[in-house]
Every structure is written in structure tokens, then in C-alpha cells.
Chains A and B, each alone.
Chain A
Amino acid sequence: MMISSRVFGDNGKVKEYHYTGPVEHKFSPYAFNGGTVLAVAGEDFALVASDTRLSEGYSIHSRDSPKCYKLTDTTVIGCSGFHGDCLTLTKIIEARLKMYKHSNNKNMTSGAIAAMLSTILYGKRFFPYYVYNIIGGLDEEGRGARDTYKAGGSASAMLQPLLDNQIGFKNMENVEQVPLTLEKAVQLVKDVFISAAERDVYTGDALKICIITKEGVREEIVPLRKD
């Protein structure tokens, strides 16, 4: 087990490169493993996409570590941040889903999973899970949420304004606001991740898209830059 002795800045990038005298390093229970997640929803579909790179500092631990986890046939969660907390959090969510299924004899709806996640995360208010979560899914009637989108993770600050412009038609005047179709959304997500991989070092290797429609959850893998 490698105990990290580097100091992580607030955005996860490594600080303290030059010698400043003896520095005391406290044990940090957190590490930043990078990765970007994205969710987009339309009238009758939802998609959750993430890159598959797992990094730490200057190294890449794995090129095949996707960050979307399928929870039910109608819900997928994307978790990025500290990989240890992502794994534990998804295990807890899956356990709670099973408990709900056994006591209520039905699957949890997407909205209910989101509400439950909010309380699980708040339960560790004083020692938080270092995870950026985005839940994408359809509701009980198979409807998505029209034209909603959210980016999370290391490249989120770059992707969110782009999505605001392309899906939300924000910051533009006199544009025709066409509703979002599944094909356009998938193409947009691919373009957006290719752009993110160009500019963010923690994003790259491959892109995994989980597409949720009333037929179920379908996956698509697209290669990205490996450098």
C-alpha cells in the first residue's frame, strides 16, 4: 500500500514542487483519482457517460476503470473522485437497493435512489465521501427529464458551459430550440469527451456511455486519447 506523501491541492492537482524546508505531512485519508462523468436526459431517454482512466498524481493506475455503475434497469450512477469512496458508496447503494427490494417487493425509482443517496452522503457529513455523483435514469413511467444535463469530476468546469450552450441553448440569442434526440445526445457526448481529453490530463483512454431507454440499459465504448 502506498501512503501518499504528496500534498493535494483543492482541485486534486499536486502542489509543493520545490524545496521549502522541512515540511510535516499529515496523513490524508483522501486521494484524487480523476475522471469525469456526465449525464444527459431527454424526453424518453437518459444517458450517463464517463471516461475510464484511473490516475493518481502523475501516474495512471488503470486505463479500463469505468465510472458508471448500473443500479437498476432504469438507473445508472456515475461516481468519480476518490476511487476508494466510489467503490464503498456504490456497494452501500447496492446493498440498500436490495434491502428495499426485499422489504417493499419492488425496485427503487430513480428519484428515490437520488433522495436516498442524499441522506447516505449527509450521514457522513463530518468525514465526507469524496465522490462526485450523478444519477441518470427514467422515472416509473419511462420518462426522462427534458433537456437536463450535468457534468461532474475533474473536467466538469470545462464541460458544463459547453453543455449549457449546446443543450440548454444558453448564452445565445435568436436560436431555434429543438428538443434533444438520443442520436444527437450520443454524438454530443462523444464530441464533448474528446474535447475534455484534449485539455484535461485526468480524462482520457476510453469513454463508456450507458444509454437508458425503456428497453433497458445499453453500453457503448469509444476510444479516447491515451496520452
Chain B
Amino acid sequence: MALQDVCGFLETLDDISPCTYLPNEMGYMRRTPFEFDRDSAFHFLPPPQQCSRKNRAPTLFSSTFSSLSPHQQPFQLSHGTTTLGFIFQDGVIAAADTRASCKGLICCPISQKIMPIHSHLVVNTSGSGADCMLWERILTREMRLYQLRHRKRLSVNGAAKLLSMMLHPFKGTNVCVAATLCGWDGEETQETLQSCMEIADVKKAVEQDSNVSAISDESAQGSVKMASINEQDEISKDTQALNPTSTFGGRSGPRVCYVCSDGLQLKGEIISVGSGSPYAYAVLDDGWRWGMTVDEAVALAREAVFRATHWDAYSGNNVDLFHITAHGWRRRDREDLKEEYYREREREKKKIKEREKERQKREGDELVEGEGDIYSVHCG
């Protein structure tokens, strides 16, 4: 059928034989990267180089396809953003702006760049919007499958390796994904659950920060998610050493990992991506300490995104903030930065007025003293 040929529909379906879907733990481990990719969600999208290997009659268009790629795009993909993620003693903070721009036009002022993958992992996406959306969905699917097959959650570094392997066939094409995986590794033990419940009984879960909205609901363990900031401080002090190096080598703890469609993978403490990242790094490097409190960390992240949106044209609108701890992720209400700009202007005006007053007072005092001298001189 002509329509089938145009969308290449049946052709790609035929490639997948039923036996590849049989769950087989050993087989799953031993598959090569290419087969692994074929089994996964994007069987509808073979990478461009592989298209030519299938036996298709060469048509007028197939020769022009390969020469087409980046030059003849009729429209620009969306890029430009500020996202950041950093770890500290009480978890991971992931923050991002919400502007999706498309070569000068703002396509969406309220896009969501931080997407939760599962209860203990969120991903900050930047690069091309369509690519990020799709790969985030594929990653979520694969992580869920891993969790079902192996009965434990994949670690942040493992997820980064998985994503990097899935992106590898598309290296060289103009797929542009720069994702920062922010999450908390390690199993929640019964002890943490127990202590968490006890503290929840003793202290009511009164939110210090009344802006908290959506909470995750995907955890298989069903732990207490509505933990207040008080609770988390208590628990982190109990179960986690304050020494940062102990969590790095160990199996559990906060993690931040950067994966890029070029194949780059970075681990670290502070990662910021996007056109506004230099400005964000400046603020983060200045204020980051391992021993920060949650409030300090949230304020730092917010300030970093705010400054980046001020200087970078392609970042702006609102700030999204996620905080991930051993209990899961928590999302802060989206905040409109317009208000912050006006508040800052007011603060500046006040400072200027105060400085003026001080200066006048000082001059007034000096004048008084000076008059005394002059008087005495005149008299003298």
C-alpha cells in the first residue's frame, strides 16, 4: 500500500520477531547494544544510517535523505535553557527555568523541564525539546522494566549508563539531549521507615514550607512521603554520617550525573546545563557547601536560576524546583520570577534611599563639626 510505504509502517514491525519479547534474565544481560535498542521503544525510529541497510529499492529520495540532514531543516529545533542540579548533605536539589524557545520565539513559557522518572529520580532536560521528551519516556520505561525484572531500583549511575547506551546509535545525527539525572541511590531500609514513622507520630507533619504541592506516588515500598523538612533533618542526622566522603564510596546517598547525546557522561557535585549555565555556575560555586541546610540549598538554587534568567535571553519565565531525599522527591510550587524582579528593584530603591540618608547624616555631622572649627577660627 502506498500509505504504508510512506510511513514505513509495516516494514519496521516485521523486523521484530516474537521471541525477542520473552522475558529472559540471562538473555537480557547478554544482548548486544543494537539488539537491546531494537527491543526497546523506538523500533519505530531507526537511526538514519541504518535505514540504508534494509533492502529497499533506491528511490529518488533515499539518495537525498543522507545529504539532507542538518542543512535543510525548515524550522529550528528548540534549545536554550538553564537547568542545574547539585547534591548536599540532605539530598539533591534540581532546578530549572521554564522557557522553551525556538530561535527567537518563545514557544512555551510554561514548559516543564524537570521530569520525575520514579520516586527517587528526576531528570533535568535540556537541548531539543522533542528529543528530551521522547528519551525521558524511553528511559522511564526501561527503568521500570529493570525494576520489575531485578526487583530493585537502578542506581543513578546505572541509569546514566543506560541512557548513554541508548543514545549511542544516534551519535552524529542532530539529536540533542543533555540530561542531568538527579536522584537518591540505595534501598530504603526498614530502619529508616521505622524511625520515619515514629518521628511522624511525635511531630505532626506540619509543613514549614507551605508551598509544597505534588508528591510522588510511584514508590513500591509505599514509604511516608509527606515528610516535613523537620523530619528529614532528623533522619538524615541519624542515619547518615555528616562526612561527605562516606556517602560517595558507599552505595546509598545523593547523586547527580550528566548524560549528553554526544556520549559524554559526567558525575559530580554541581552540574548546570544550558545557555544560562555559566551564570548559574557563578552563583552556585560561590554559595555551595556540603553542610548546607535545605532552606539554604533551595534559596541557592533559586538564586542561581534567577540570575541566569536575568542575563540569558533564552532562559526565563518561572523556576521549577525539586528536592530529592531518601524518601523520594518533593516539588516546590512553580515561582514566577517577574515578582522577584520587582521585589529586587524595591529592595535596591530602599538601599539607595538608606544610603542617601546616611550620607546626609554624615555630612550634617561633619558640617556641625566643621562649623565649630570655622567659628573658632573666626573668633580667633
Q: Tell me the A residues contacting B by CB distance below 8 Å.
A: 8, 10, 12, 26-30, 32, 81-82, 88, 91-92, 95, 118-123, 125-128, 130, 157
A123 and B75 contact, CB distance less than 8 A: no
Partner of B103, one of A10, A12, A88, A120: A10
Kindly list chain A residues whose C-beta atoms are within 8 Å of the C-beta of B103. Answer: 10
Digit string of B22-48 for contact with A (CB within 8 Å is 1, else 0)? Answer: 000000000000000000000011001
4 A-B pairs closest in CB distance: A30-B74, A130-B74, A126-B48, A123-B44
B72 and A30 contact, CB distance less than 8 A: yes
Known contacts A10-B103, A95-B3, A119-B44; A27 and B74 CB within 8 A of each other: no
Q: How far is the CB of A39 from chain B (nearest CB, A)?
A: 14
A128 and B44 contact, CB distance less than 8 A: no
Q: What number of B residues sit within 8 Å (CB to CB) of A? A: 26
Kindly list chain B residues whose C-beta atoms are within 8 Å of the C-beta of A12. Answer: 74
**Smallest CB gap from B64: residue in A:** A27
Known contacts A125-B175, A127-B65, A157-B105; A92 and B76 CB within 8 A of each other: no
A198 to B225, CA, bound (A): 55
B75 and A92 contact, CB distance less than 8 A: no
Q: Does B147 contact A (CB under 8 A)?
A: no
Q: Please report which residues of chain B, range 58-95, place their CB below 8 angstroms from some CB of chain A when the two chains form the complex.
A: 61, 64-65, 68-69, 72-76
Q: Tell me the B residues contacting A by CB distance below 8 Å.
A: 3, 6-8, 44-45, 48, 61, 64-65, 68-69, 72-76, 103, 105, 130-131, 133-134, 173-175
Known contacts A10-B103, A27-B64, A95-B3; A125 and B45 CB within 8 A of each other: yes
A121 to B61, CA, bound (A): 19
Kindly list chain B residues whose C-beta atoms are within 8 Å of the C-beta of A88. Answer: 6
Kindly list chain A residues whose C-beta atoms are within 8 Å of the C-beta of B8. Answer: 123
Partner of A123, one of B45, B73, B76: B45
A28 and B72 contact, CB distance less than 8 A: yes
Kindly list chain A residues whose C-beta atoms are within 8 Å of the C-beta of B73. Answer: 128
Kindly list chain A residues whose C-beta atoms are within 8 Å of the C-beta of B75. Answer: 10, 128, 130
Known contacts A119-B44, A128-B73; A29 and B3 CB within 8 A of each other: no
Q: How far is the CB of B255 from chain A (nearest CB, A)?
A: 29
A119 to B75, CA, bound (A): 19
Partner of B3, one of A32, A92, A122: A92
**Smallest CB gap from B72: residue in A:** A28
Kindly list chain A residues whose C-beta atoms are within 8 Å of the C-beta of B133. Answer: 118
**Smallest CB gap from B76: residue in A:** A10
B74 and A127 contact, CB distance less than 8 A: no
Partner of A122, one of B65, B74, B134: B134
Kindly list chain B residues whose C-beta atoms are within 8 Å of the C-beta of A95. Answer: 3
A32 to B74, CA, bound (A): 9
Partner of A92, one of B7, B44, B134: B7
